[in-house]
Structure 1
Amino acid sequence: MKAVPWWSSDLTVLRRQTMKAREELGRIRKENKADQKLNAITTYRDLRNKYKNEIRNCKLKTWQNFVAEIGNTDPWGIVYKILRNKIRNNDISCDRNRNRN
């Protein structure tokens, strides 16, 4: 599997923290610990929101860098085609299926 260009080690750390908080929340719910439940929910939600926001920011920065580099060299190139929906996802998935065989 090919890694996405916007992924970073910071996102990996945030993902692990979020998953641990989610597991902890599940344990607390399973054991019916009402006194710890509210704290676990807020911790998980805060980490999840931080993780999602960081993903959005990384994707946006990567896209802006891509457009700045590639879009300035060829105005009718790949950036134009992506924005005008000239490239279809079906075409890409068909190519991937051909390479697997």
Structure 2
Amino acid sequence: MQFQLEDIHPLTDFQRNAKAHLARVNKTGRAEVLTVNGKAEAVLVGRRSYEKIMAAMEELETLKSINRGLEEMDAGKTVSASAVHQKLRKL
């Protein structure tokens, strides 16, 4: 993710004008980088952007789990459903 120069602000400016910063990130959908002594320390995102990020993260985790399962199948590390059913019937 690249930030535009106008999206970089000192933390002290955010502290003085928090409502304006929140309104801007919610209106534009762009994140802001908050700096301390000229170094990036935090990123401010609006609620909708955050929800999109979290949904994307959840989707990524699901895809990673599916991929792990497929890799385990390819490596022969799985048990067939019929074998599981046979073991359960014996219990």
Using CA pairs under 8 Å that are at least 6 residues apart, name the structure with larger relative contact order, 1 or 2.
1
More strand by share: 2
Larger radius of gyration: 2
